[in-house]
Structure formats: C-alpha cells, structure tokens
Structure 1
C-alpha cells in the first residue's frame, strides 16, 4: 500500500456528466463526513487524513507530534510532516528526514512498507531530483544515477522500488531491484512517457503511460511480473491513471470517460475495469489507496469543498 505525490499527476480534475450506469462497479462510495482527503488505509481499517487518522467512525489525533500525514502501514508507522518537514513516526519516536544531498531543498516520502522502510524523492528547488530508499535503521541509499532526474514512488516488502527517471527529456517508468540494478518498464508506445506508482509483493506494477497519438492522452497501466505492459482503460476513456495495487492484484486509480466526470476505478487481477459510483451526484472523485481487504479510499471534490471517501465492494 502506498500513495505517491507523483500520483497526484493522475488526479487531474475533469468535470462533466456522470459515467454511464453500465460502467459502474458494484459496491458503494461513502463520504466520511470529514473535510479532508483520505490518502491511505491499512489492513486494520485505519484511514489517513491530512491532519488526523480515522477509524471506527471517529477521528484520532496524529501520533508523535505529526502535524500532517499521508501514509500508514499495518504496524501503525505513519509518514507525514512536522510543521512542513517530512517525518516518520516509527511507533516509538518521530524521525525528521533531511534531503539526501546538501544541494537539495526538500524531501518527500512516497511509500512505506511493512518493515518501516520508506522511499521518496529528494530535490532541488526547480532543479534535479534523486530517488532514494531509507531503511528503518536510517541507512539511506540513492537509487538513481548521478545527474539523472528521478523519483521513487512505490516499495514492496521484498525491497523492490518503482518510480521514474528522465532520459533524453522523456519520463521513463523504472523498477530498482534488490541488487541495486534498474529495469526500464516499457510504455504503451515506444518513446512515450510513463511512470510507475506502486508495486506489490508479487511484482505487479501500476502507474500510467502516454500513447503515441500526440494527443498527450494518459492511460492507466499495469506491468506484469514479466514486465509486459497493458492498458487498464475501458473503451471511451479520455484520461486515466493507476495509483495503488494490493497483494491480490486489485488496482485502484481514477479515470474520466469521454464527456464524463472523473471518478475512481477498480480493476482486479482478472475481469474488466469498473468505474466506482460517485458518493454524490455532481462530484469529482479519485481513489488514492487500497488495502488487502479490497477497501479503497480517496477524495471527493465539490465546487468549493473536499471530503474523504471510502469505497467497499
């Protein structure tokens, strides 16, 4: 389970009519009554909001002095920030993270695994960025090559990391393997940009890829364990991106069908991609994370408000 800052690129708000009823998934999308987006959910059902946790119908304060949050694992470790500085609550103490290079101005953590290792991006202001892995013991490894703009977005319990690098001006989806080597993940069309957002313990990777039409259309994609890429878009999709995949292969993200508003979607290891019903007509909604029980969370946007949502099949 992970949610990535880069995943927000797949959450381009698109408004319009609701998707056709025939495209809807089973299940129900419910607003939690909290005016904050939900960014992660663990197997215990604890949901991460921007400034609190939510469980069993009530909000709870963030642990360890965190002032904001984005990620949680099953051990209750929480990734967030303290007054704007990226931090991790490891169950005992809050550890403040600093950029991995003296020239960098800020650092983002985009994923945490069950061990407590984290990955993310350390970056200069308007300049180069570096993908990194930080173990729970505090050992930091820069994954990307010197001088290469890159970011790490997803991490599994086997130590595999996914993200992107820029090569000749093109964003390339990649996987860093446990031995430190890097594998390029093919886009839908040769030379098209792509990004990997998450990887599960079975080696399935999800993210997005552009096509070769020149339209700049973004597709939700999945890479198999054999690194074959496939589009997850149903027929008539205008834009889509996948952001999370659980251990059973359930993928979540968001899409907009032609002429329709942006909504969450679910795709299981087999079967079609299903559009998630809106929690309320006229909203724009995205899913950001899914746990191993198949429950997904995300955000619902109105004209002037936002609300956390949960989808249950």
Structure 2
C-alpha cells in the first residue's frame, strides 16, 4: 500500500472456484507430511496430516509481483493433523496457484510442503450504452481507462458510425469533424478520447476529444488522410498518416506541445522496409506497436514495436517482432512494460485458442492480463477471452447464469481488471463493460460527482460505497467544474489533484475501516466502507477461524486496531491494538454464539484514524 496518492493498480479478478473434495486422514507425526486443498468461492481450504503434533503450521499463497503472502497459521492436533479455510487475496488472477505450509521442528529443521489449487474469475456485466440505445445501435466498446470510463462506436439510424463516451452510467455522444462517420478508439485517464472522423468531402483525419474542449482535428503528416487508434496519459496519439510520393499510410505518432494539449506535431515512424505501416497501440512511455509491410513489394506484414530514443520522444527505431513460425503477424496492444500482444500465423498446428483455429489478442494491461476473441471448436462461433496466469479463459463462463449475454470480443482491459468489448444481450448487439467481483462483494466501486456551479464540490453528499479488502474506488468528475478528492479522516491516506471534467481518480483500499472523503470547496461528502473478512463463517469450538483486516502489513507510519465482541457482551473489547500484521487465526472455545469483529487503520504520529469498519461475524456451535 502506498499513501498520499492514487495508484495505477494491477488488475484484480475475483475468484469463483469449483468446490472440490478433501479427506482428513489420521496419521502420526512420523509419517511424511502432506497437505490437500479444496476451493470455495473466495477461499481455499487446506487439510494436513503427518506433521509434528501440537505445533503451529504457517500457510502462504504465492501471488505474482508480491511473492509469498501470509494466509494464516493453524495448530496441529495430537495426531499431527490440522485443517482450516483461508481467504484468497483479491489480486490473485485466474489460473493455477500454489499454497505452501511450513513448520519448524525443534527450532532447527523446517518442513515445507506445497500444493496447487485453481481459481477462475467472476464478473458483473453492464450494458454501457443502455441510456442511449435508440441513438446508438450495434455498439461495441473499443477502450477504457483507469477510472472506469469507456469509449467506442455504434451506428445511427442511417447506418453511419457514431462515437460515444460512457462515464458513471451516462452516455455522451462524441461529435466528429463534420463528416458522416466518427470512430472512437482509445481513451486516457484524463478522459481524452482519440479516434478517426470523416471530414466533408470524404477524407478522414485523426482527432482528439474532451468534454471541455470538444473535437480537435489533428491533421496529417503530408497527405490527405490520417487515423488515430490509441492515446496515452500525456495525450500522445498513435495511428497512421499518408506520406508522399505514393500517399501510402505510414505508422505515425502525434505529440502534443503540452501534456494533453490540443496542438502538436506528427512524426513518421517509418516501416519495416515495405510501403505501408500502422500503429494500433501506445503505452505510457511512447512506445508504439502495430504492423508493417515487408520489403520487396511483399503484401505480408510483421508486427513491430517502435521505441523512442527518449521517453515520449518523436524519433526512435522500429523493431521487427517476427512471427510464431508463419508468414505474417500484427500487434494490437502494448503495456507499460513493453509487452506486446496481437495475432500471428503459425507454421503448423494451433495453440492459444478456445478450441478453434484462430484467435486475436487486442489488449494487455500492466499485470500481463490479455483480452481478445477466439474461435470455438469447429469455428462456427467465437467468444471473448481473458488470458492470465498461463490460462486462456472464456469470459462467458464468468457471467451469472441466465444473464442474457453472449460476449464475442474483448477489446480493452484496464489495470483494475475492467474489460470492455461487444456481444449480444437477448440477441441484440451491445457494448459491454465487465467489472471483477467476488462472492464477498465488489472489487471496484464507482463514485460520480457532478454539480451545476463552477465548483463541482457543491454536489450533495454521496451514499456510502462498499468494497472488499483490496477493492478499488474510482471517483469520476462528470462536470461542469473541477474538484479534488481528499481523505477527510486526517490520516492523509489518499488524495487527488484538481480533476478537470471528464477525468477521474482511483485508490485501492487494502485495509478494513470506514474512510470518509470530501471534495474541495463546499464539501461534497461520502464514505468508503471496507469490512473485516473471516473464514469460515461458521464452525465449532475446535475450528480455527481466520480473521483478516488487511492482506498486507501496515504501511510505514500506520498501524491497525482490532476489536471483538463476544456472545452476550454489550461492548467491543480490544483484540489487538497498534499491530502491523494483517490477520490472525483464532480458536473461539470459550462459549458458543456469534462473535463480532471490527477494525480500523490509524496513523501513529497524529493518532488520526479511520472510523471502525463494518462488523464481520462468525458463529460458533458446539
């Protein structure tokens, strides 16, 4: 956890796991130690046998980018057996993962046993152009940003392409440059949209658009036409533009004179030796990915990555990324690490699909999660997919039963794990946005602030928003004025700069508590509630309950306070105070009934703290 600012978060997908079976085997401490796992929504169960008796076993889950994360500790019985249920960290992607359990014998020899378990994602789905379905038909989502805004295209009643922005449940049409067709292809965190629009007379130009400034024609390198396919948070735009003498399209990069400015310069990115190229993707450092024709008049293309000589510069070098053994390839996505995704022909055989003979990868986020579309077995149909943790997953499997949706293509994914694309809803083509969920609650929550005065903060108070541990809250400014979000508890945990209309701010809440926030000027107020989590929810006096108030240690300068209320008690009492650890295991053997828990985060230097979290409870039976 970092404090004082928002983060570009690694996308997290919720876990919907298939229940397995697990046997508890009696064994003495001299047997070979073993563990077995079974999974349930949001948690993983573990049973062990053959361990040293009457000693503690520490179990951990491996999370990419973080290493081994504490899951809990469990005591062994007189036979060397143990068992318990652990909450799975929210940033664990779908796929196969490893749980390890450790025990120190005699303070000298450490026993370590590992076991694999499998997770799958769960998603809630939104029809993001429902509010404008009469004006926008056959819609598809082309891109989304880090604060949950999405953009894309559809068709009007005359069959012409129209562009739109979806923000906080409101759909805004994006006017073009005066011609018949307008396409929106990308959006950055400032709410700036990049795309291509017809001009009167039939030519088309790349453009940028903001809610405050409207559309701006970016012109061309030298010819009549240009296209915009992607933009980054500095306002650079990648696409192509015609060049003399033959007016072939070359991959091109438009650089604004100031960040997210409306005036700038086109730069020719060149080709791989052929006559034409196009840049389809752009990352935060100005690296562009796309496809280029090869030398000798060939009509075969190869994927490329263009790297600037200096970050976000206009001069650089184009690198041929080759193929997977076939004749051609194209690149459609690139993340901040320079990972490139796309499509390639193979020499023989098919891999990396949902069973059919081909698949396209369209986007990749900074945690390496890839989305796209793949043919199914028999090639009669295709579905949207997510690739993560080495596994290709059909996104239709993550939807609630009988949702009415069929998802055909996923075109964008942000670092919170939200996915946009297109599919059908009860047989009608729609743009969709998927947001990751768990059975415990949402992993993302969206707060939209709007007002009628120059100061956006004059808006009325927002209701309390609730997310699970590790969940992300996105604030979006719908306009017309500017505002800033701040931590109203006095801890200084989070806060944004002034946000222009159409922009937003995101923060991940890793620890349990109730966090008040306010906006600048006449305060608009609200709270974010993050509950304590327990596993299991019900057990006996012999059950070891796992209690979590953070899947982390406290950041420097902060501590956690945790309180418990026993059955029949009138008041909460301190369970642990001023701790930096994020969880513990408890045996509640004193009495049966409901035990209740709550927690908060506190800054040591000032004593300022969040309010207490929503209450979590477990029930103990005989």
Shared fold per TM-score greater than 0.5: yes
Residue equivalent to 1:12: none
Residue equivalent to 1:202: 337
Seen in structure 2, the aligned counterparts of structure 1 residues 201 and 141 have a Cα distance that, compared at 3 Å, is same
1:37 is paired with a residue whose SS is: strand
1:277 is paired with a residue whose SS is: helix
Residue equivalent to 1:5: none
Residue equivalent to 1:59: 171
Residue equivalent to 1:96: 217
Q: Map 1:153-302 onto structure 2 (within 5 A).
A: 153-167=280-294, 168-179=298-309, 180-189=316-325, 191-213=326-348, 232-234=352-354, 236-259=355-378, 261-268=381-388, 270-277=389-396, 283=406, 285-301=408-424
Partner residue of 2:185 out of 31, 55, 70: 70
Deviation, 1:56, is 2.4
Residue equivalent to 1:221: none
Q: Which has the higher contact order (CA 8 A, sep 6+)?
A: 1
Contact kept, 8 Å, 2:330 with 2:342, in 1: the verdict is: yes
Deviates more, 1:173-182 or 1:146-155: 146-155
Residue equivalent to 2:439: none
Partner residue of 1:149 out of 276, 283, 286: 276
- In 2, distance between residues paired with 1:301 and 1:73? 26
Deviation, 1:82, is 5.3
Q: Unaligned regions of 5+ residues in structure 1, if any?
A: 1-23, 218-230
- In 2, distance between residues paired with 1:76 and 1:25? 28
The two structures, once aligned, show a CA RMSD in angstroms of 3.2
- Aligned residue pairs: how many? 272
- In 1, distance between residues paired with 2:307 and 2:197? 31
Seen in structure 2, the aligned counterparts of structure 1 residues 244 and 282 have a Cα distance that, compared at 3 Å, is closer
Residue equivalent to 1:9: none
The answer on 1:131 being equivalent to 2:251 is: yes
Residue equivalent to 1:4: none
Deviation, 1:261, is 2.4
Contact kept, 8 Å, 1:43 with 1:291, in 2: the verdict is: yes
1:108 is paired with a residue whose SS is: strand
1:90-113 Cα shifts (integer Å, max 9, x gaps): 6646320223223xx421111101
Partner residue of 1:115 out of 231, 234, 254: 234
Bigger Rg over Cα = 2
Residue equivalent to 1:80: 195
- In 1, distance between residues paired with 2:330 and 2:292? 9
Seen in structure 2, the aligned counterparts of structure 1 residues 277 and 192 have a Cα distance that, compared at 3 Å, is same
Deviation, 1:165, is 1.1
Contact kept, 8 Å, 1:29 with 1:277, in 2: the verdict is: no
- In 2, distance between residues paired with 1:49 and 1:153? 15
Contact kept, 8 Å, 1:154 with 1:161, in 2: the verdict is: yes
1:256 is paired with a residue whose SS is: strand
Residue equivalent to 2:127: 31
Q: Unaligned regions of 5+ residues in structure 2, if any?
A: 1-119, 154-162, 258-263, 310-315, 437-622
2:384 is paired with a residue whose SS is: strand
TM-score of the aligned structures, taking structure 1 as reference length: 0.76
1:162-191 Cα shifts (integer Å, max 9, x gaps): 1111113321111111121121112110x5
- In 2, distance between residues paired with 1:248 and 1:30? 23
Seen in structure 2, the aligned counterparts of structure 1 residues 93 and 310 have a Cα distance that, compared at 3 Å, is closer
Contact kept, 8 Å, 1:25 with 1:277, in 2: the verdict is: no
Seen in structure 2, the aligned counterparts of structure 1 residues 115 and 207 have a Cα distance that, compared at 3 Å, is same
Deviation, 1:149, is 1.2
Seen in structure 2, the aligned counterparts of structure 1 residues 82 and 152 have a Cα distance that, compared at 3 Å, is closer
